Amino acid sequence: MGSITNDNYKPPLDKTPRVPKSITKSRINNFMASESQFFDMGIQTAFWELRLSGEPHVTLFVYNVPDTERISFQDAVSRKFEKFNVQETEFAPIWSTHWFHVDVLIPDVMNNRKVVFQWDMDCEGMVWSTDGVPLQGLTGGTDQARHEYILSMNAKAGERYSFFIEAACNAMFGLSYGDSMVPDPTRTYKIKTADLVVPNEDIQALYHDLSIIQGIAYDTDDDSQRARRALWLVNEVIDRFHARSDESIKQCLALTREFLSMHNGGSQHKVTAIGHCHIDTAWLWPYDETKRKIARSWSSQIELMDRYPNFIFTASQTQQYEWLRELYPIVFEKIIEKEKAGQWEIIGGSWVEHDTNMPSGESLCRQMLLGQRFFEKYFGKRAKVFWLPDSFGYSGQLPQILKQSGCDYFFTQKLSWNNINKFPLTTFWWTGIDNTSILAHLTPAETYNAAVTPAELHKCVVNHHDIEYSNQSLLVFGNGDGGGGPAPEMLERLSRVRDVDGIPTCVPGTVHGFFEELVAKSDRLQSYKGELYLEFHRGTYTTQALVKYGNRKGEVLIRDVEFLATMAKIIGRDKYRYPRDEVDKFWKYICLNQFHDCLPGSAIGLAYKDVHKFHREVISQSLLLRHNAQSAIMAYHATAAPKATAENEGILVFNTLPWARTAVVTVPEAQTSWSNQQWEDGHELVVVQQVPGFGATGFMGTATYFPEIGAEKAAKAYRLESGLFVLENPLLQATFNKDGQLVQLIDKTSDRLPLIPQNSKGNMLQLYEDVPTNWDAWDVEIYHLQKYRSLEGNGTLKIVSSGPLKAELEFRQPISNASYIQQRISLTCIGKRIEFDNFVEWHEDRQFLKVEFTWDINSDHATYDIQYGVLRRPNIYNTTHDSARFEVCGHKFADLSEASYGVALLNDCKYGYATHGNVQRLSLLRSPKGPDDQADMGQHKFRYAIYPHSQYFAASDVMHEALDFNVPLSLRYAQGSESEINFTLGSMFVVTPSNRIIIDTVKLAEDDNDRGNIIILRLYEGYGGQASAKLQCSLNVSRMLVSNVLEDDTENVLVAQPDGYQLTFKAFQIMTLKVYLAV
């Protein structure tokens, strides 16, 4: 090293002019930069003292995996590796994998030095030991890079190192390019760096010191003495810096260390820092790549924990842990060790970081049941903090579900993305629609990818809305996705900011510890009631319609399966096997697909191949399991009656909702003539009456079993002289024009005036131009409401059936040259529901299809179906908070009611709604072009319905009607003796009255072990008020207790009374009952 003394660099102050702050900053920027025209005069140029590449120091061999397959280590190393030209070889295609065998020979010049292998192929990689241990991940490129793998802290000349790199031709953000994030199919990769390097550790340490001091100068209180001093100090270090002089570096370090050793006063804000790696379970890459991202990221973090013993890291999403356990058991074992040692914190408790807008109530419960049980099984504990930093808004029913799932605390930051109003609170009691509260913290740093910078720490103070009474915040740091989590430089900074005057104190800690301290030290927190609506990403309720369809159908069918399989088990006992493994698998698929970039529709097309495959499997296999359970019930149901000699035919009708139902159904067998009234495509329509709730009834195939629908009770379709068409039954009369638009609706049971105001219509199909400001798949922007056209003028309405059981109209309306909608509108002889059954051929570019109904109803809010309850939202644009909800999420219905009347708009697989004044809209299809440029192109089928009802919402039966619409009766054609067909299986469980308390799930308990002895019931009060009811159970119950989502045993045992178990619900309460049978 040279012997330049620093006196040469320090002229007396009074001999130099005062330098303006901005010029000093420019000088500092150049000195600190990783790229600039003056790079070779900056500090980063001196990070590495020695650098060698190529043979004999580094020898590379490659095996290129064909067909974008992802193969195991064992498989890879058994293949033939070949030498290649490092400079010239391009690696492709996208998503392909290339295994490199790296041989290193330590040269004399690196003897006794720390030697690092530096690798940059612009993509992601995993370093494997030669005996198959995943050692750490690598991230190529310059953004959030991770290029270094430490070979030895003290290498010896002549030593050899050998290892593998599994390089994947995709980067942190998949293969996206441009704002649209569509993968670039032409991208190729080259090895840019494969070097041996020796670090200059003093210079790197100086750089880390300077990055803190520079941050204090730039990003804290600009005019404070401390910030001004910081700026001057960095300037002074540049004056003294000489890369080749150890003495100079020592002097620089003495300056920075003195500055950093000055401490804060006792009142300083406290930041708890937790390492994290937000790994999207699928997004700009498919699930299979995520499996590798997890292994790369988490093995990197384990390696860092060894180097930084104070470092604590947290990871959520038990699905990711399960993949790791299956595919990388060595890494999983290490995580268990690190968790025990206190450096790894399990968090979240849900199966994935799911969307919370669209999953059903039961899905939200199952996310927690699957997640917490996994943590309990492998870590012996549950997560107490619910963790959704990135999901697009938070359901108002979450606090209750979380509390019943062992979580007292909730963390997020996503509301900082609001694009209209700033969310007003940081640390607060989040109160759900049922009044359950949990403690919530929204990091004021407004990121879950922090880098431990003074700017972030300062933001924790100035952006903290509740700092008067809660002087703490959480910093979640680390690169997400393919970035591998916290990088070493972040940990270097973290080690320097424990207590530095000018920035908050920042110490590593667990999230759980942070919340425990928060609850103890926060004296007067505010509360916030209801949903945490994200004023952003409102297109996600509609984008990728097929994933929405798969989610709803999957949820409905798996529920059918669980109930019917429970029934079959109770009836069949040892003869029937409860399909536990299948149900578990399908719930895992459903929950996985609810990941916050899958269900919302914001992933790439490749990811949806898997998503749709899983949904298809859930649906087809659930249908099969349901069929099997029904067959078992049919075979095992108790009947003492002797077999009749004559063979008969008929249908068995299964009702998986808890109330008795009467409906028009279609006989599955073709060409019957049982009631001889109406056929559709060769199949007969019949009315089945009073099928008991959670039960089944058989109907013989003869007229005596089915009521005859005379003219006065019939559904009719007819054409008026005016050219208008009418659908009518004893309760309703609906008039349509040739375009299928509803021009009038009259409720014949009510004295109300016609329901459609003058000059208005319903069933108006509208096409909105849908060009957001960014985030194509995610966002529909407020101004889209200003630009639309109605699809009308080309209608071809005709009568398809004129009754008497079901009357039906049909029309086809072009949308564009490439797209059209075909719709069937029907009304049966039973009830007040008009159904709209749609087929759409859809090939549009950034158009948004909606259907609109205008009603003569006056209200300042609309009511939306959410998980196990409803949410009232304003339908007015008075304030910016009202306007921001111009598009909202609802499940099976949205209702618009005034004092004594209302209309609900139901759907069977949609989630986007808007209500403005007396106008109701349902969002049907979008056509964004990124990140999937084929999103939603093709054919779609969906249904919606209108349901006019007397009374305001809370006194109506809208929720029941919407369930009827979504959970149809299931039918089995049967042949056999009369006693085999003509039977009724009453419900095992009946709630009386059933108008407010709904039994949703009936399943065998997780711990039942296929004995059929423990049943779980989930019930809820759906309409929003206290309600009492009796629960009657026809089974031999030994004990019934109030459990929770996790199916824990409790002391809260219900006492049987002669007329059943007395249940009292608060508004929107969810109750899980655990029923032990005496066997």
Nearer to Zn ion, 183 or 600 (CB): 600
Q: Which residues pair with 1032 in a beta bridge?
A: 990
Compose the 388-417 pattern: x for residues touching Zn ion by CB under 5 A, - for all others: --x---------------------------
963 to each of 269, 349, 494, 973, how far by Cα in Å? 51, 29, 53, 24
Nearer to Zn ion, 603 or 653 (CB): 603
Distance CA 996, CA 563 (A): 20
Orientation angle between helical segments 318-327 and 361-379, nearest 10 degrees:
50
Nearer to Zn ion, 602 or 987 (CB): 602
Stated as kind and residue range, the H or E segment containing 212 is: helix 201-219
444 to each of 233, 274, 424, 447, 794, how far by Cα in Å? 29, 14, 11, 8, 54
Distance CA 289, CA 72 (A): 13
User: Residue by residue, what is the 3-state secondary structure of 90-142?
Assistant: CECCCCCEEEEEEEEECCHHHCCCCEEEEEECCCEEEEEECCCCEEEEEECCC
CB neighbours of residue 568 within 10 Å: 27
Distance CA 579, CA 591 (A): 18
Nearer to Zn ion, 392 or 848 (CB): 392
- Is the distance from CB of 633 to CB of 571 less than 8 angstroms? yes
Stated as kind and residue range, the H or E segment containing 512 is: helix 511-521
161 to each of 52, 59, 113, 997, 1015, how far by Cα in Å? 15, 10, 15, 68, 59
Nearer to Zn ion, 227 or 279 (CB): 279
Compose the 129-158 pattern: x for residues touching Zn ion by CB under 5 A, - for all others: ------------------------------
Distance CA 535, CA 781 (A): 10
Nearer to Zn ion, 355 or 808 (CB): 355
Burial of 1059 (0-12, 13-18, 19+ CB in 10 A): exposed
Distance CA 808, CA 944 (A): 15
Compose the 353-392 pattern: x for residues touching Zn ion by CB under 5 A, - for all others: -------------------------------------x--
Write down the least CB distance from residue 601 to Zn ion, Å. Answer: 14
Nearer to Zn ion, 43 or 352 (CB): 352
93 cis-preceded (ω within 30 degrees of 0): yes
Nearer to Zn ion, 280 or 466 (CB): 280
Within positions 264 to 283, which residues make up the interface with Zn ion, using CB under 5 A? 280
Sheet of strand 527-529: strand arrangement: 385-387, 409-412, 437-442, 427-431, 527-529
Write down the least CB distance from residue 187 to Zn ion, Å. Answer: 23
Nearer to Zn ion, 173 or 989 (CB): 173
Q: Which of 300, 412, 419, 418 is nearest to 348 (CA)?
A: 412
Distance CA 811, CA 827 (A): 15
811 contact partners, CB below 8 Å, separation of at least 6: 738, 739, 740, 795, 796, 797, 798, 822, 823, 825
Write down the least CB distance from residue 453 to Zn ion, Å. Answer: 21
User: How many residues interact with Zn ion (rule CB under 5 A)?
Assistant: 2
Q: Which residues pair with 717 in a beta bridge?
A: 727
Q: Which of 614, 925, 944 is nearest to 777 (CA)?
A: 925
β-pairing, 505-508 vs 1027-1033, is unpaired
Distance CA 495, CA 488 (A): 11
Within positions 164 to 203, which residues make up the interface with Zn ion, using CB under 5 A? none
920 contact partners, CB below 8 Å, separation of at least 6: 852, 853, 854, 855, 862, 894, 896, 903, 905, 913, 914
Write down the least CB distance from residue 609 to Zn ion, Å. Answer: 20
Distance CA 572, CA 584 (A): 21
Nearer to Zn ion, 388 or 652 (CB): 388
Active site residues: 390
- Using CB atoms, what's the residue nearest to Zn ion? 390
Distance CA 346, CA 331 (A): 15
Write down the least CB distance from residue 867 to Zn ion, Å. Answer: 21
Nearer to Zn ion, 233 or 284 (CB): 284
- The torsion region of residue 917 among left (phi > 0), alpha (psi -120 to 50) and beta comes to left
- The torsion region of residue 530 among left (phi > 0), alpha (psi -120 to 50) and beta comes to left
Compose the 528-557 pattern: x for residues touching Zn ion by CB under 5 A, - for all others: ------------------------------
Compose the 279-308 pattern: x for residues touching Zn ion by CB under 5 A, - for all others: -x----------------------------
What are the residue ranges of helices labelled H in 220-274?
A: 225-240, 246-260
Residue 434 sits in the site that holds Zn ion (CB under 5 A): no
Orientation angle between helical segments 545-572 and 580-593, nearest 10 degrees:
160
Interface positions with Zn ion (CB under 5 A) = 280, 390
